[in-house]
Structure formats: C-alpha cells, structure tokens
Homo-oligomer: A and B are copies of this chain.
Amino acid sequence: MKTFTPQFRNSVAALGEEELIAAIRRWLANASPRAPFGIGDDCAVLPRARAPQLLTVDPVVHNRHFDDSVPPRMVGAKLLKRNLSDLAAMGGRPSAAVVSLIMGGSVDVRWLEQFYRGLAACAREYRVPIVGGDVTQADGGFAASLTLLGEATGPRVLTRVGAQLGDWIYTTGVLGGSRGGHHFRFTPRLAEGAWLARRAAVRSMMDLSDGLAKDLHALTPRGACAAILPGGLPRRPGASVEAALTDGEDYELVFTYHTKSGRAAFERAWRGRFPATRLTCIGQFARAGKLPSGAVDLARFHGYEHLSAAPARSVMSLNT
C-alpha cells in the first residue's frame, strides 16, 4: 500500500480538515479518551503522577524509517513501540502519548487510516491513551512524531550513568539483522526494564537503537573500555558479529551489573521471570587501554551518522 496517491479523491487534501479530524478520532476509537482527557480541547488533562515522570519523543519518517513495502499498520505500531523501548530503558511504564503529523496533501486517506489503526491497536495493547496531537500540511512527505509520557514503576529510574570498572555487561534478546523485519516486529522490553530497575546491582541501562558498538559508549564509565568477547554475542540467525555490533534498531536492553553481586542467582531469577527472553552476559568494563586479548575493539566499528549526504536509516535523538 502506497503512502501517497496520485488520485485527488483518495487524498487527505480532498477529505478536508473537519472530516480528517473526525476520521482520526474514529480510527483511534477507544485508544483515545474523550476531552478533556483526550483529543478535543486546548490541552489534554492527565491525572497527577504518583511517581517521577519520564518524557521522550521519536518519529517515523517516510523514506527514512519505512517505505511503501511496509504495511501502514506496522508503521503506526512502530512509532509507538520505539518510544516504549526508550521508556523500558529507564524502567518506566507509559502514561499517555501525543502524535504530531506533518504531511503533504497527497497522502492516501486509506493508508493513513491503516497507520492510525495500527497505532491504536498498539496503544490498546500497551495501555497508552493517545490524548492529542496535530496534523500540519507540508509541501510533501510524511513524518509522524510521537511524544510519550511515562512514569517510574518503582523507587528508581535506571539511567545511562552508574556503571563502574569491572561491571558486567548484559543484553536481552539477539542482535543484528533487524532490517529483516525485527525493527517492525520487536516487542519493547517494558516488563524486563521495570524488573531490572528494582535490582540494586543493575547500575545503568539503555536500549539499543544505533547498534551496540555505538550505543555502549554511553554506558562506559570514564577510564574504562567495554571488553566484549565476540564469540559470546547473541546474534540473530544469519547475522555476523559486525552486524550484531552495528546494524542498529535492535530495541533490546543493554545494562550493567555490579561485579561484586552474584551473577548466578540473578540469571536464575531472570530465567524464572522471563523464560522467553534471552539474557546474555556479553562482557565487562576493563581499564581503558587494557583491552583483554580476544575482546572486540569497538572503536573499529563506526557508529551510524544520521545526518549526512547518504540516506539515513534511523533517527538522531537528543534522548534516544
């Protein structure tokens, strides 16, 4: 199904504003509460939060994050899931979301309906009310940006800061080869993230969006380097070590674990709680310049440059 239509009668421009707003509300259905708690007033009204709150934003853009080969329902779902993955990375749960659309008038209404229905289905699945948004006409293209508000699930949110020399490095799931479909089909690790945030020995966490080699820098403490043993990397079938390190869009969690805490009991508890989610200890923080033999030199793997003359694959995020 194509995002844009050459036939005016099928386009959002033909539908007009009032009709389009009514249609969007219909497509979202019960994923969007009634005003003032949802769409229809100057702001959406949300209950006061009981816990520290979390805020993040990420888009999907035509020809960057998807093309006409991707079913629009999956595009809508991905828009929410990539933000949920950011929330999972702090140990949070979702509260509400707003969606900003910027698109040319030739967007196909039928495509847009499927996009919103996919978003709404995902919002119901993860219990995220879509409480507002806006739609702006631009000269062309299609870009949707979702801002997600969430809150901590426990007394602590896990940030990227806190790892120490010697800490173990863990990842969930398998890495690499996400372009085969995983980057649309992934499940945000919300339950896992919340569970990890309650373990004191877990000291920092993030989600993997740009590839382990690039993302892991953010967790690496000063004076340390990540010693990753390539043989131990959990790879998607068919993915090379390089792919596992650099492909990006894994949407798995990577976290660090206090070296003096018991790993065996922790891993046993994980398997009891998340039998279907693979957990792998992929290495440890070594002293900078003291990379153990056999460990990967991550500096050899260049991170992805989002803004360049080359087509961008992903998004550059101020809070990725």
A residues touching B (Cβ–Cβ < 8 Å)?
12-13, 15-17, 20-21, 24-25, 35-36, 39-59, 61, 63-64, 86-87, 89-90, 92, 96, 98-100, 102, 105, 131-141, 143, 145, 147-151, 157, 159-161, 206-207, 305-309, 312, 315-320
Q: In the complex, are the beta carbons of B319 and A39 less than 8 A apart?
A: yes
Copy number of this protein in the oligomer?
2
A45-B90, A319-B42 known; A159+B54 contact, CB < 8 A? no
**Chain B residue at minimum C-beta to C-beta distance from A193:** B42
CB distance from A12 to the nearest CB of B (A): 6
Q: Which of B25, B57, B105 contacts A134 (CB 8 A)?
A: B57
Q: How far apart sit A36 and B197, CA to CA, in the bound complex (Å)?
A: 15
Q: Collect the chain B residues with CB atoms within 8 Å of residue A145's CB.
A: 100, 102, 134, 145
Q: How far apart sit A86 and B63, CA to CA, in the bound complex (Å)?
A: 32
Q: Collect the chain B residues with CB atoms within 8 Å of residue A61's CB.
A: 102, 136, 138
Q: In the complex, are the beta carbons of B49 and A137 less than 8 A apart?
A: no
The main secondary structure of chain A at its interface with chain B is: mixed
Q: In the complex, are the beta carbons of A36 and B307 less than 8 A apart?
A: no
Q: In the complex, are the beta carbons of B143 and A136 less than 8 A apart?
A: yes
Q: Collect the chain B residues with CB atoms within 8 Å of residue A307's CB.
A: 12-13, 15-17, 20, 105, 135, 137
Q: In the complex, are the beta carbons of B42 and A89 less than 8 A apart?
A: yes
Q: Collect the chain B residues with CB atoms within 8 Å of residue A92's CB.
A: 43
Q: Which of B42, B53, B305, B317 contacts A90 (CB 8 A)?
A: B42
Show 10 residue pairs from A and B whose CB-CB distance is below 8 angstroms, ordered by the A residue.
A36-B160, A40-B319, A43-B89, A43-B90, A44-B319, A49-B53, A55-B96, A102-B102, A135-B307, A135-B318
Q: In the complex, are the beta carbons of A98 and B57 less than 8 A apart?
A: yes
Q: In the complex, are the beta carbons of A316 and B141 less than 8 A apart?
A: no
Q: In the complex, are the beta carbons of A16 and B87 less than 8 A apart?
A: no
Q: In the complex, are the beta carbons of B63 and A139 less than 8 A apart?
A: yes
**Chain B residue at minimum C-beta to C-beta distance from A319:** B132
Q: How far apart sit A91 and B35, CA to CA, in the bound complex (Å)?
A: 16
